[in-house]
Amino acid sequence: MAEETGLFIYGIVPSDVEPTPDAAGIGDPPGEVAAIRHGELAALVSEVSLTEPIGRPADLTAYQELVDGTAAVAPVLPVRFGTVVTGPDAVADLLGAHHERFAAALDEFEGRIQYVVHGRYHEPELIGEILAENPAAAELADQVRGQPEAATRPQRIRLGESISQAVELRREAENRQLVDALGLLVVASALRPPSDEWDAANAAFLVERDREDEFVAAVEEYAEQRRELLRTRLLGPLAPYDFVSAHQLVE
């Protein structure tokens, strides 16, 4: 009995985009990536087994590498990870049903790329600043220092709440500062939810390719100014994951 298979869709691209010979899809061994074309559009796909689960870390990595690698050379609309259809006809139907909307979105992302700026506070330095600015929290810290945890549980809870609230307020201010610092260099920005309680800033930026160097330099300047309080990472170039939702792509 033949294995039942489907087509995993990675992203939607202009019809003249051709997968490179070394392009690898998800699976073990990796699936061969192909382009299924319809009008001015194409979908990057690979064949997958419908009996094997999708969602291993290696699968997500393969998906991201393919989509981000494509975004480095051509506009691409990422399709939600895990989208599988029955075959080429279903892909063509998808492209045909949404042809005008997908084409307009690709035109919008032509010559643009996404970056993510992520900052995380140095915990000891931040706590020191918070306690220096908040006498009530500093007093609670003195009360619990060196004392048994069980005996000082109420004070520890109040101290934790005070620090958490202070971090949240600082995070809001840090995100505003980051967006303000880079706003004139980008097409659009989108705040991301924190991934950790000590996150300082987390935002995606849509950048014109001809301003990438200028943008990266501005991020480096921002990171240098804040290096004593937080560690900043720049992720990218990436596909425009944070900016395609308005186009209501395949979910």
Predicted confidence band at 249 (pLDDT cuts at 50, 70, 90)?
low
pLDDT digits (tens, 9 = 90+) for 202-231: 999 999 999 999 999 999 999 999 888 899
Query: Does residue 163 carry a pLDDT above 90?
Result: no
Mean pLDDT (whole number) for 179-195? 93
Domain ranges of the chain: 5-110, 113-245
Predicted confidence band at 195 (pLDDT cuts at 50, 70, 90)?
confident
pLDDT for 75 equals: 94
The more confidently predicted of residues 136 and 108 is 108
pLDDT digits (tens, 9 = 90+) for 6-61: 899 999 999 999 988 888 898 878 889 999 999 999 999 999 988 888 888 999 99
Average model confidence (pLDDT) for the chain? Answer: 89
Reduced 3-state DSSP string for the chain: CCCCEEEEEEEEEECCCCCCCCCECCCCCCCEEEEEEECCEEEEEEEEECCCCCCCHHHHHHHHHHHHHHHCCCCCEECCCCCEECCHHHHHHHHHHCHHHHHHHHHHHCCEEEEEEEEEECHHHHHHHHHHHCHHHHHHHHHHCCCCCHHHHHHHHHHHHHHHHHHHHHHHHHHHHHHHHHHHHCCEEEECCCCCCCEEEEEEEEEEHHHHHHHHHHHHHHHHHHCCCEEEEEEEEECCHHHCHHHCCCC
